[in-house]
Structures are given as structure tokens and as C-alpha cells.
Amino acid sequence: MKPYYSTTLLLITFTISATPPPDHARPLKFGLGKPADPHLIQQLDKDVRPDGQGLPPGSGSVTDGEKVYQQHCITCHGKRGEGGISDKLAGRLPDDHFPFSSPEPPKETIGNYWPYATTLFDYIRRTMPYSSPGSLSDCQVYSVVAYLLYLNDIIEHETVLDKNSLAKIIMPARHRFKNDDRLQFNRAH
């Protein structure tokens, strides 16, 4: 075959294979999933920002948090947050210095790595307990957050957390995180 014919044949083959099928060949529905239930959307649309915006009403104590922890968290995270089959949650470092460049840095915990207590609330509310994410009430989440902050020597045993007090907590690692302010713009939702 002459080079001219093989090039033409290759070009025709490529053009035919790159041409999308006619609209009638595409299915209108793929039969996957189901329409979004407004209740489910409301259940999932509960973000909490670092400044506390989005925290729900309710409150929780260290004492109540220990009970919630014993019931829902101990299996994975150990008796007092020391770790188990899942991450270690409790532990601070001397002078709150985290050796990032160390060849074997310590495990990141709530007390030595998390920059905001509010994001701890958000994370627990969305993802815990592992066997049933999102099943804890807001008061249970406030309580278990209080217990975990107590285990990390961040709050006193008598502390009761709510949306106002939680947003005011300064975490030991907050100074390690900087907001990216290089680009400021408003987003339309």
C-alpha cells in the first residue's frame, strides 16, 4: 500500500472513532442512584468553620463525654485515647514543639497537631463513630470533644462546651497553621 493510502485510511479511521455517537444512542438515564432526598441533604449540609460559624445549639461536659467515649470510641482509640486499632487521640509534646523534620516524628494527636477545636467537632460529628457516622447527637459530640480536649490538657474537667465556649478555645498547635491569604475573593454559592 502506498504511503498516501495508508495515511488517508488512518485519518478516516481516526475521524470515525473520534466522532461521538448520535444523541439517540446515549441513554437518557443510567439507572444509578436515586434523587437527592431533601432530608438527606439537610443532614449532610452541616459544616462548621474554624471560627465556630455553623456550630449547633447544645452543650456537653467532660463527664458526659467520657461516657460517650466509653460507649462509642474506646474500641478503636483505646481506653484514654492512647490509640488502638485506630489513631492515637491524646498526647501533648514538651513545650508543644512538634518536630516535623524528625526522621521519626511522633504521632499527630488532638493535643499536638489539631489547629482548631471547632474542626474537631465537625470531624467527629460527620465521621464518628466509625460503625455509624453521624449518629451522635450534637450534645454527645460536644461532650466527647470536651472529654478529648480534657485528655489533652486543653480544658479543665469542669468545663462545659457549647458553641460559644468551643469557638474560643486556642489549640496548642494553632500557631503552626497559617491561613493562605494570597488570593482574596468572594465566592457565590
Burial grade of 173 (CB within 10 A; 0-12, 13-18, 19 or more): buried
Cβ contacts of residue 113 below 8 Å, gap of 6+?
98, 173, 176
Per-residue pLDDT of the chain (189 residues; tens, 9 = 90+): 555 555 555 555 555 555 565 666 677 778 888 888 888 787 778 889 999 999 999 999 999 999 999 999 999 999 999 999 999 999 998 887 788 788 988 889 999 999 999 999 999 999 999 999 999 999 999 999 999 999 999 999 999 999 999 999 999 999 888 877 776 666 654
Report pLDDT for 50. 93
Q: What is the pLDDT of residue 18?
A: 54
Q: Does the structural domain 46-176 have CATH classification 1.10.760.10?
A: yes
Instruction: Please tell me the predicted confidence (pLDDT) of residue 26.
Output: 72
Confidence at residue 10, expressed as pLDDT on a 0 to 100 scale: 53
Q: What is the Cα–Cα distance from 8 to 3, expressed in whole angstroms?
A: 9
Please provide the size of the chain in residues. 189
Q: What is the pLDDT of residue 130?
A: 94
**CA 102/CA 106 separation, integer angstroms:** 9
Q: Hey, CA dihedral for 109, 164, 185, 47, is it positive or negative? A: positive
Task: State the Cα angle at 43 between 38 and 44, rounded to 5°.
Answer: 100
pLDDT at 22: 61
pLDDT at 81: 96
